[in-house]
Amino acid sequence: MNKQRHATVELKNPENNWRKTHQELINTIRAARQIQIYVNKGGDIRDLPQPPPSENLDYIQCPHCLRRFNEAAANRHIPKCVNYEYNKPKNPTGNPKWR
């Protein structure tokens, strides 16, 4: 009888930040409930402030349009975005009189 030993391979998992993503999910659900209560009482959704955007630290920000992508999508997007004219930020300097 041949006994074969199975080699164990350790896979490196990316940094696990499940607590942060779970907390973002909980906050999103709570905000959605508050919005639904407000709308059901007859309020206008446009009166409410926008919820804060969720952060994904694994994403890469495009220096041209300031959008965020995963690594593979960023490698495809950023070289193309250099030539795009229509998707640039409207006011990149923060100066209200910028044109």
Q: Which pLDDT score is estimated for 5?
A: 56
Q: Check residue 18 and give its pLDDT.
A: 84
What's the whole-number mean pLDDT along residues 69-75?
A: 92
- Domain positions in the chain: 18-51, 56-90
What is the predicted pLDDT for the residue at 39? Answer: 92
Q: What does the alpha-carbon distance between residue 58 and residue 70 come to, in Å, rounded to a whole number?
A: 7
Q: 60: exposed, middle or buried (C-beta count within 10 Å: 0-12, 13-18, 19+)?
A: middle
The per-residue pLDDT for 99 is 46
Q: What pTM was computed for the model?
A: 0.48
Could you tell me the CA-to-CA distances from 13 to 16, 18, 57, 65, 78 in Å, in that order?
A: 7, 12, 16, 30, 27
Q: What is the pLDDT of residues 34-56, one digit of tens each?
A: 999 999 999 988 888 887 777 77
